[in-house]
Structure 1
Amino acid sequence: MPLEMETPLPYQRDDLCPFDPGADLRRAQRQEPVTKYRMIDGRDIWVVTRYDDVRQVLNDPRLSSALTPLTLMLPGVDDTGLEVSPGSFVNMDPPHHTRLRRTVAGSFTARRMRDIVPRLEKIAEHCLDTLERGGPGTDLMTAFASPFPLLAICELLGLSDEQRDTYLRISEQAPGLAATAEEARELVAAAHRFMLDVVTAQRDEPGDGMIGMLARDHGDDLSDAEIVGIANMHLTAGFDTVANTLGLGLLALFDHPDQLALLRDDPQVLDTAVEELMRYLSVISATGGRTATEDIELGGVTIKKGEYVVPALAAANRDPAHYPDPDRLDLTRPQGRQLGFGHGLHRCPGAAMTLIEMKVGFTALLRRFPGIRLAVPRGEIAFRGYNMVHGALALPVAW
C-alpha cells in the first residue's frame, strides 16, 4: 500500500500564491537554512534553502548524484527494479557523467540553436492555430504550452511526427511524485521500449537530430541503451519544465499586467524576461538530491557521510541575501545566475534550448493574441500538488 502522500518540504508552495515557496521554506531560510527534514517514509534529508549554500551543493564533488536513490523523494516507492538508465548522466558522477555529457555538446552549439529557431517559430504558430481554432475558453496548457515544447524537443532529437504522437501518449501517463512502484516501473519500461525502437532505426539510417548524431558520430562508443537513456532524459527534462514555465509564466504576467505589457511591447527585454520568469517561478522546486561521500560543512552544519542533501531551488531563487526585493517580478532585472538550470557539473546541458523555446513561445503568443487574458476567475485555477515540476492543471484563456 502506498504511504499517505504529503508534499515534502522542498516541493511545498505558498497556499495563497502558486509562484512562491511555502511558508515553512521561508522560515527555514531565515532561521535554519540547512535544516533536517524527515520524509513520511522515515528517511531524513537535509534541505538547503539559501542561494550560496545551494550553489555549493550543486558544485561540490563530495556530494554524489550516483549514490542517491532514485526514489529519495518518492515515499511510496521502493528501489526494487528501478535502476539508473545507462545514458541518464544527470544521475551519474564523473568520469561516467563526463563521458556521456560530452557526446551531446554538439547538439547545443550556438550555431545549432540559431539554425533551429525558424523551425521552432513554425511549430509555435502551428500550436497557436490550434489554440485559435478552439476559441475563447480553450485550455492554453493543452493547446499550446504542452505541445509546443514537446514538438520542439522532438525536433531537436530528430523524431518523426508519428513518434512524437507516441511519446505524447506515454508522457500523459506520467504518475508524478505520488507514484506507486508499479506505476513508476511501467512508465520507465514504456519510455525505454519506445526510444529503443527509435534508436534501432537510426542506427541504420541516422537522421539530422541528436539521436542521429549520437548514432553516427558516437555509435562505436555508445551502446543502444546509453543512447536511449540520453534521449529519454532530454525528452523528459525538455518537455515538462518548459511547458509549465510557459503556462505559469503567462499566469504570473496576468497577475502583473505592467510586466505583461512590457514583454508584449518591448522585445529588448526578452533576454532578461525569460531568466526572470525562471527565477520567479522556479517550476522545478528542488533537485533530486545528493549523497555525502564524506563529512562536510554546509552553512555551518555538519553533513555526515551517507546523509542526503536536497537543494530547494525555489527558495534559493527568492533569497533576499542574493536578490534585491526577490518577491517582485521584474522583467528588466539584470541577469544574476538564477538556479533554475542548476549549477556547476550538472547544469542543464539544454539550457540554451530552453531559453530559446521560451523566447519563441512568449513572443509568438503575445504577437498573435496581444489581448490574451484568463477566461475564468483567477480563483478557479488549480495547480499540481505532489509533483516534481510545478504548474497549472489547466489555463483557460480568451483574447
Structure 2
Amino acid sequence: MTDQLAATDTAHPLPRTCPFSPPPEYVRLRAERPVTKVRMVGGGTAWLVTRHEDVRKLLADPRMSSDRTRPGFPRLAAGRQPPDAIIAPSLIGMDPPAHTAARRAVLGEFTVRRIEAMRPRIQDIVDSCVDDLLATSRPADLVHTVSLPVPSLVICELLGVPYADHDFFQRHTAMIIQRSGSDVQHAFTEIRSYLDELVTAKERDEPDDLLGRQIRKQRETGEPDHDSLVSLALLLLIAGHDSTGNMIALGTLALLENPDQRAQIVADPSRTPAAVEELLRYFTIAQAATSRTALADIEIGGVRIRAGEGVVALALAANHDPEVFDRPDELDLTRSARQHVAFGFGPHQCIGQNLARLELQIVFDTLFRRVPGLRLATAVEDLPFKQDGTVYGVHELPVTW
C-alpha cells in the first residue's frame, strides 16, 4: 500500500480545454495515478480520486467528513471564507447524526411521487418560457429566455420566494459560485439577509410551501430552528436554479450539435429520461463539488489517506472512466448511464435530483417539439463557457430558428 505521493505541480481544479471533454490531465491521472496528492487552487494540498469505483467507495465511507469548517477540507477557490463560516451549516456541510436528521426532515419534499405531481405546473412554466423565446428577436439567448428562468421559477414557487426577486438571486448566485472575485462575501451576506427576512415572515404566517411545511414540522417538537431554515433555503435556491440552468443550456447545446441523436428523442420522447442521464454523465457540471476530510486513516485505491487530510472525489473523471462507460468521451443517448455520479453518491447524494431530472426532460421535449428549426447562432468555439465557477456551464447560448 502506498503511503504518500508527491503533489503534482498543477493546481486543481483544472479548466476544461475542450468544452465536451475532461481536462487531459485528469485522463492521465486516472490511468497512471488514480489517487494522487495535488495542489489546490484555494491553497494547500488534497488527494484527488479519479476512478469511478474509488469515487463511489469514498463517498459512501462514513469516515469521510463533509464539514467544510474542518482543517484540511479542500479549498476550490483562493481567498474565500467557507459559506458555513457565515451561515449555519447546510445539508452539504453536515455529518451524521445532524445530517441524517436534517435530510430526513426535508426528503419527503423531493420524492418521485411529489415531484411528478409538479409536472403540469413545470410544463406551464416551460411553455411560457418558450413563448418568450419565440417572441424575442433573433438571435436570442437561450440562457436568458429559458435555461435560467425555468428552474428559477420552479424553485421560487417551491420555496415560496417571490419570482419578482429572481434577478436579485441570479446576480448574487453568479458571484457566489465563481472561484474568484471580491464580491463573494458580499453576495452571501445580501442573500442571507433577504432569506432571514423571508423565513421570519413564514414563521409568522406558515404558508403551504416547503419552508412553511418545515416550520410546522419543527413546531411539532419545539421551536423552529431559524438559522437552519435560512441555510436550507439558501442551499435549495442556489442549487435549484443554477445547476439545473447550466444543464439545460449545455444539454441543449449537445443536442443541437448531435442532430441524429436529437431526432431519436424527438421521434420517441420515452427515450428522453435515458438521454438526460447520459447528458448528466457527459458534462458532470459539478466536477469537484464532492470534497471530504478524512476522520481516520483510510485506504482508497491502494493509497493510505491519513486522518485530517482533504480528499476530492473527482466526479468528472469518474463519469468518463472507460472501465465503466464504453467510449466515455462520446455522447451516446442510448447508453444506460444511471450509474453516473453527477449527483454524487452515498448519504449526501443530491436531494433535488428527481426535480432536476423532470425539469430537464420537460424542457428538452418541449423545446425541440415547439422549435424544430432551433440551431446555434454562433460557432461553439466562440461560446463563453464558465471556466471560473464551481459549476460548469455557459454564460450565453445564442440561438436562432
Question: Do these two structures clear the TM 0.5 threshold for a shared fold by scoring above it?
Answer: yes
Residue 315 (str. 1) matches residue 317 (str. 2)? yes
Task: Give matches, 1:58-137, under 5 Å.
Answer: 58-66=59-67, 68=70, 72-78=75-81, 83=85, 85-137=87-139
Unaligned runs of 5+ in 2: 1-8
Counterpart of 1:184 in structure 2 is 184
The CA deviation at 1:159 is: 2.0
* Inter-CA distance 344–263: structure 2 relative to 1 (3 Å threshold): same
Counterpart of 1:3 in structure 2 is none
Deviates more, 1:304-313 or 1:82-91: 82-91
Assess if the C-alpha contact under 8 Å between 1:157 and 1:210 holds in 2: yes
Assess if the C-alpha contact under 8 Å between 2:175 and 2:181 holds in 1: no
Q: Distance in 2 between the 1:24 and 1:352 partners? A: 32
Amino acid at match of 2:58: V
1:345-388: CA deviation from partner (whole Å, max 9, x where unpaired): 10011111110111111111111111110011222112111211
Counterpart of 2:5 in structure 1 is none
Q: Distance in 2 between the 1:169 and 1:382 partners? A: 17
* Inter-CA distance 42–224: structure 2 relative to 1 (3 Å threshold): closer
Assess if the C-alpha contact under 8 Å between 2:296 and 2:306 holds in 1: yes
Deviates more, 1:49-58 or 1:155-164: 155-164
Amino acid at match of 2:33: E
The CA deviation at 1:175 is: 5.9
The CA deviation at 1:212 is: 1.2
Under a length normalisation based on structure 1, what TM-score does the superposition of the two structures give?
Answer: 0.92
Assess if the C-alpha contact under 8 Å between 1:141 and 1:247 holds in 2: yes
The CA deviation at 1:154 is: 1.2
Deviates more, 1:32-41 or 1:310-319: 32-41
Q: Distance in 2 between the 1:210 and 1:292 partners? A: 34
Deviates more, 1:34-43 or 1:299-308: 34-43
The CA deviation at 1:179 is: 2.9
Counterpart of 1:211 in structure 2 is 211
Counterpart of 1:43 in structure 2 is 44
The CA deviation at 1:10 is: 3.5
The CA deviation at 1:7 is: 9.0
Residue 306 (str. 1) matches residue 289 (str. 2)? no
Counterpart of 2:6 in structure 1 is none
Counterpart of 1:297 in structure 2 is 299
Q: Distance in 1 between the 2:164 and 2:247 partners? A: 26
Deviates more, 1:195-204 or 1:35-44: 35-44
Amino acid at match of 2:229: I
* Inter-CA distance 335–155: structure 2 relative to 1 (3 Å threshold): same
Deviates more, 1:216-225 or 1:64-73: 64-73
Counterpart of 1:276 in structure 2 is 278
Q: Is the partner of 1:383 in helix, strand or coil?
A: coil
Q: Distance in 2 between the 1:206 and 1:87 partners? A: 23
Counterpart of 1:242 in structure 2 is 244
Counterpart of 1:12 in structure 2 is 15
Counterpart of 1:233 in structure 2 is 235
Counterpart of 2:26 in structure 1 is 25
* Inter-CA distance 154–324: structure 2 relative to 1 (3 Å threshold): same
* Inter-CA distance 9–129: structure 2 relative to 1 (3 Å threshold): same
Deviates more, 1:371-380 or 1:304-313: 371-380
Q: Distance in 1 between the 2:27 and 2:42 partners? A: 24
Q: Distance in 1 between the 2:48 and 2:289 partners? A: 11
Assess if the C-alpha contact under 8 Å between 1:292 and 1:305 holds in 2: yes
Q: Distance in 2 between the 1:57 and 1:225 partners? A: 30
How many residue pairs get aligned? The number is 389
Amino acid at match of 1:63: M
Assess if the C-alpha contact under 8 Å between 2:376 and 2:398 holds in 1: yes
Q: Is the partner of 1:340 in helix, strand or coil?
A: coil
Counterpart of 2:57 in structure 1 is 56
Residue 195 (str. 1) matches residue 195 (str. 2)? yes
* Inter-CA distance 56–222: structure 2 relative to 1 (3 Å threshold): farther
Q: Quick one: which of 332, 335, 338 aligns to 1:333?
A: 335
Q: Distance in 2 between the 1:11 and 1:363 partners? A: 33
The CA deviation at 1:301 is: 0.7
Q: Distance in 2 between the 1:104 and 1:241 partners? A: 19
Counterpart of 1:357 in structure 2 is 359
Task: Give matches, 1:120-159, under 5 Å.
Answer: 120-159=122-161
Counterpart of 1:161 in structure 2 is 163
Counterpart of 2:3 in structure 1 is none
* Inter-CA distance 8–190: structure 2 relative to 1 (3 Å threshold): farther
Assess if the C-alpha contact under 8 Å between 2:40 and 2:74 holds in 1: no
Assess if the C-alpha contact under 8 Å between 1:282 and 1:314 holds in 2: yes
Q: Quick one: which of 284, 287, 295 aligns to 1:285?
A: 287
Assess if the C-alpha contact under 8 Å between 2:285 and 2:392 holds in 1: yes
Amino acid at match of 2:265: L
* Inter-CA distance 289–391: structure 2 relative to 1 (3 Å threshold): same
Counterpart of 1:374 in structure 2 is 376
* Inter-CA distance 313–242: structure 2 relative to 1 (3 Å threshold): same
RMSD: 2.0
Q: Distance in 1 between the 2:171 and 2:187 partners? A: 11
The CA deviation at 1:336 is: 3.1
Q: Is the partner of 1:216 in helix, strand or coil?
A: helix
* Inter-CA distance 82–63: structure 2 relative to 1 (3 Å threshold): closer
Assess if the C-alpha contact under 8 Å between 1:71 and 1:78 holds in 2: no
Q: Quick one: which of 388, 391, 398 aligns to 1:396?
A: 398
1:130-167: CA deviation from partner (whole Å, max 9, x where unpaired): 21121321111111111111111112212223344543
The CA deviation at 1:19 is: 2.0
Q: Is the partner of 1:12 in helix, strand or coil?
A: coil
Counterpart of 2:4 in structure 1 is none
The CA deviation at 1:37 is: 0.6
Assess if the C-alpha contact under 8 Å between 1:7 and 1:386 holds in 2: no
Assess if the C-alpha contact under 8 Å between 2:292 and 2:310 holds in 1: yes
